[in-house]
Structure 1
Amino acid sequence: MNRCQFVQDHQRRFGVKRLCDILGISRSSFYYWRRTAAARAVRQIAEAKLAARIRTVHQESDGTYGAPRITAELRDKGERINHKRVARIMRTIGVEGLRLRRRHRTTVPDPAAAKAPDLIGRDFTATQVTLSAG
């Protein structure tokens, strides 16, 4: 639950000033939050519709398209949208594109090659086990 939502839910009983002081938010922030609630609701509805379109484009591509290709598809369909917004919405709905990357193996040891000799001859075996009381 949002702190501002909490203030709105309990403002009749305790008052806005007291609740804002206790929760550590300014009253102007609360009133701004309340004033912009309608715009947030409209934006959430628009993002839900966009999420549905993103999901259909992703399913049409058999789950291979990522944010750049989905953005291009939506722009081809007449949608004015930014790739960052598409990527953010994809993250929120849990949709990912397919990544085809090869693993780079930098060192391949030759199994037939001779092992390097131990010229120093150090012995790393423990001679005594000590337990510390801590």
Structure 2
Amino acid sequence: MYQLKDDLLIPEVARLHAENYGVYGRRKMHALLRRQGWDIGRDQTERMMRLAGVRGVRRSKRVFTTKSDPAAPRPTDLVQRRFTADGPRRLWVCDVT
């Protein structure tokens, strides 16, 4: 019985993996199979992917493009780190980042 289900699932997993540009891993593949009505667990999804010879794509490390220069001039602190105003419309602060 299990072998019959495996024989049906392996080509389905390979097809879905190809349809999704070959990037789906176990979690997304499991969710996709469940949405399509397959009664399948996470570990079984992983096993089917292994038997079908497909793997998900790992995300690359985040690339930081800005290197701050500690010697660069900093804007002057006009409020002296005091962010409470004496009254209405006395202190205006904005952040442009």
**C-alpha separation in 2, matches of 1:46 and 1:80:** 10
CA–CA distance in structure 2, aligned partners of residues 91 and 69 of structure 1:
15
Equivalent residues in 2 for 1:114-125, closer than 5 Å: none
1:103 Cα offset (Å): 7.5
Query: Larger relative contact order (C-alpha < 8 A, sep ≥ 6)?
Result: 2
Matches within 5 A, 1:1-134: 42-102=1-61
**CA–CA separation in structure 2 for the residues paired with 1:50 and 1:79:** 9
Q: Deviation at 1:70?
A: 0.8
Unpaired stretches in structure 2, ≥5 consecutive residues: 64-97
State the Cα RMSD in Å: 1.7
Q: Secondary structure at the match of 1:99?
A: coil
Kindly provide the CA deviation profile for residues 51-71 of structure 1, in whole angstroms up to 9, marking residues without a partner as x.
111111101101000111011
Higher helix share: 1
Give distance in 2, aligned partners of 1:59 and 1:93: 11
Structure having the higher Rg: 1
5+ unaligned residues in a row in structure 1: which ranges?
A: 1-41, 105-134
> Number of paired residues?
63
Structure 1 residue runs of 4+, over 2 Å off?
Answer: none
Deviation sequence 1:68-105 (CA, Å, 0-9, x none): 1011011111111101101012112211011112189x
Cα distance per residue 1:94-121 (max 9 Å; x no partner): 11011112189xxxxxxxxxxxxxxxxx
